[in-house]
Structure 1
Amino acid sequence: MKHEQMKLKQIPRIQRISKSDFLRDYVQPQKPVVIEELIEDWPAYKKWNFDYIKELAGDKTVPLYDDRPISSKYKFNEAHAEMKMSEYIDHLKSGPTNYRIFLYHLMKEVPRLQKDFKFPDIGLRFLRQLPMLFFGGQNSSVFMHYDIDYANILHFHFQGKKQCILFPPSESKHLYKVPHALIAREDINFNDPDYEKFPALKKAEGYITELNHGDTLYMPEGYWHHMTYLTAGFSMSLRATPRTLTNFSKAVYNLIFMRYFDNYMRKLRGQKWIDYKNEQAIKRTHKKNDISL
């Protein structure tokens, strides 16, 4: 995938790192990094692949998401379909599919998986709730968004390849952020942006990398991320609390007000609310960037 016009730097890659160096070089300055050998001592490093998940969790019914735009029909993070994990893995193996598993507590459903990993001693205050798992088919992608809780995230990839595009919070003004939401406009293809329609994207400066089996991506607080599964694969995330009071306050606002307000307005105004927010994303972004179309 080509990004000649997007200002995307390669995320630095290191093999391993000490706790003090990780905190000094990446967490404190809030810069992303890929650590290639952080989890080589996990049983998951050798065991986790589609066949293993199918063997342990094949009978579980899993929620599936596709790439349809957010609409008034679905609530915040409401699934579009479901199937047995065994069927879904067969589906992933058979070829490209848009169906993804998003924010799934598979470890709660299959406690045996909890023995395959440990929380890294790397200086982050991890939230000890069970980690989330994410699965995707070849060519499926996750729209550009940032996380509701402003967590520091370690994202571990298993099986295949996954492309990650990141932008720091400072670039929000260029990304056509949808108001009262955590997403950029969903009709933007960040793998091949339409600069005539979305000219502010030319100013955005971000990062890109490809994750392989066993790679760990550190995503700092409030970072925008867009994921594309170059091949079918799956990932796991561990989350750590925001380190600044400002970001903690933003997380609290999002969790106890913003998402409920947005759901209320969807019920009240339906698709008109969605359309209004998408229009505002363009108007506000162009105003901040002194762009007139």
Structure 2
Amino acid sequence: MKLNLQEIPRVRDIAKETFVRDYLKPQRPVVLEGFIEDWPAYRKWSLDYMKEKAGHKTVPLYDDRPVNHKEGFNEPHAKMKLAAYVDLLKREPTRYRIFLWNILKEIPELREDFGYPDIGMRFMKGLPMLFFGGRDSYTFMHYDTDLANILHFHFEGRKQCILFSQSQNRYMYKVPHSTIAREDIDFYDPDLEKWPALKKAKGYVTELNHGDVLFMPEGYWHYMRYITPGFSMSLRSITRNPKFFGKALYNLLIMRHFDVLMRKMKGQSWIDHKNEQAVIRTHKRNGIKV
């Protein structure tokens, strides 16, 4: 691993007051071990269980192809029955992922399998989202448009997570009018000669196993790579930081719609321009001449 990353601390049997004091208020990431061992989901949730409960559902699939102007905002690259998708995950490596799949809408009976932890976070209870991935599939480095606090619960298999705080924005090759980094940066094994600003970035890394819960503070950049097939669930809590709340409103109400409009007007040249500006602006901020 070439990036400057420190291991995210792991704690077990943490009290609410300790979590709020040591992690939520100072906005520090942490992995909670043994946190959901009393949930039915801890015992029951697996790829086979999801296939049994929702195998008949058609699911949207996404891969790691770069953004293209011809594709709509967050439009899936393929669709498949969940049963067939689980079979694919178990049979061979695949880049196809499911993300932001609302289980209350799709599989309401699973609501009985988990709870909303009393840990000092006010969760948006209508938005428990599932994420699935095959071996070696990954998400691009990004942060969420609403800059929420997130608890990320992992089930089955192993998953690597790389995080950076908003304080590292100047090094991340952020694409303008978006919340993603350049999609051609391999954050698992980055070329630091091609992307020299990343040498200055300081981040975090961890590996999640079944039952681990990752706390991601507000607006944290994250890159997720599935080491083995598996899935996760995220619960969200609205940002407490007034500055981030304003940015979230801007992202949702203005930035997204402006970007969609420019894609329609200028096509691929708009996307190419943004990617070029990501490099120009990052190098300029850091005094890098290439």
Q: TM-score, normalised by structure 1?
A: 0.98
- Match of 1:216? 213
- Of residues 275, 278, 284, the one that matches 1:278 is 275
For 1:220, the aligned partner's letter is P
2:188 counterpart of 1:191: yes
- Of residues 21, 34, 38, the one that matches 1:41 is 38
- Match of 1:180? 177
2:64 counterpart of 1:64: no
Q: CA deviation at 1:6?
A: 1.0
Task: Quote the Cα distance in structure 2 between the aligned partners of 1:136 and 1:50.
Answer: 11
* 1:55-134 equivalent positions in 2, closer than 5 A: 55-134=52-131
Task: Quote the Cα distance in structure 2 between the aligned partners of 1:100 and 1:18.
Answer: 34
Task: Quote the Cα distance in structure 2 between the aligned partners of 1:92 and 1:106.
Answer: 19
- Match of 1:166? 163
- Match of 1:12? 9
Q: 1:231-275 deviations in whole A, cap 9, x for unaligned?
A: 000000000010111111111110100000000000000100000
Task: Quote the Cα distance in structure 1 between the aligned partners of 2:64 and 2:195.
Answer: 20
Task: Quote the Cα distance in structure 1 between the aligned partners of 2:157 and 2:104.
Answer: 21
Q: 1:57-95 deviations in whole A, cap 9, x for unaligned?
A: 000000000110011011221111000000000000002
Task: Quote the Cα distance in structure 1 between the aligned partners of 2:200 and 2:29.
Answer: 20
Task: Quote the Cα distance in structure 1 between the aligned partners of 2:70 and 2:134.
Answer: 24
C-alpha contact (below 8 Å) 1:12/1:34 kept by paired residues:
yes
Q: 1:124-153 deviations in whole A, cap 9, x for unaligned?
A: 011111300000000000000000001000
SS in structure 2 of the partner of residue 290 of structure 1: coil
For 2:157, the aligned partner's letter is G
Structure 1 vs Structure 2: percent identity of aligned residues? 63
* 1:142-153 equivalent positions in 2, closer than 5 A: 142-153=139-150
For 2:16, the aligned partner's letter is K
SS in structure 1 of the partner of residue 176 of structure 2: coil
Task: Quote the Cα distance in structure 1 between the aligned partners of 2:243 and 2:104.
Answer: 32
The count of corresponding residues between Structure 1 and Structure 2 is 290
SS in structure 2 of the partner of residue 209 of structure 1: strand
Q: CA deviation at 1:107?
A: 2.9
Task: Quote the Cα distance in structure 2 between the aligned partners of 1:264 and 1:158.
Answer: 38
Q: 1:158-200 deviations in whole A, cap 9, x for unaligned?
A: 0000000000000010010000001000000001111111100
- Of residues 230, 233, 236, the one that matches 1:233 is 230
For 1:38, the aligned partner's letter is F
Task: Quote the Cα distance in structure 2 between the aligned partners of 1:186 and 1:238.
Answer: 26
SS in structure 2 of the partner of residue 251 of structure 1: helix
Runs of 4+ in structure 1 deviating by more than 4 angstroms, as ranges, are none
Task: Quote the Cα distance in structure 2 between the aligned partners of 1:107 and 1:92.
Answer: 23
SS in structure 2 of the partner of residue 247 of structure 1: helix
Structure 2 portions without partners, runs of 5+: none
Task: Quote the Cα distance in structure 1 between the aligned partners of 2:127 and 2:65.
Answer: 28
Task: Quote the Cα distance in structure 2 between the aligned partners of 1:173 and 1:75.
Answer: 28
Structure 1 portions without partners, runs of 5+: none
For 2:224, the aligned partner's letter is M
For 1:77, the aligned partner's letter is N
Q: TM-score, normalised by structure 2?
A: 0.99
For 1:6, the aligned partner's letter is L
C-alpha contact (below 8 Å) 2:11/2:33 kept by paired residues:
yes
- Match of 2:204? 207
Task: Quote the Cα distance in structure 2 between the aligned partners of 1:233 and 1:25.
Answer: 30
SS in structure 1 of the partner of residue 141 of structure 2: strand
C-alpha contact (below 8 Å) 2:127/2:236 kept by paired residues:
no
C-alpha contact (below 8 Å) 1:143/1:183 kept by paired residues:
yes
Task: Quote the Cα distance in structure 1 between the aligned partners of 2:52 and 2:39.
Answer: 19
Q: CA deviation at 1:16?
A: 2.1
Q: CA deviation at 1:106?
A: 2.9
The CA RMSD over aligned residues, in Å, is 0.7
- Of residues 248, 263, 266, the one that matches 1:266 is 263
For 2:20, the aligned partner's letter is L
For 2:102, the aligned partner's letter is H
Task: Quote the Cα distance in structure 2 between the aligned partners of 1:190 and 1:130.
Answer: 28
Q: CA deviation at 1:110?
A: 1.3
- Match of 1:139? 136
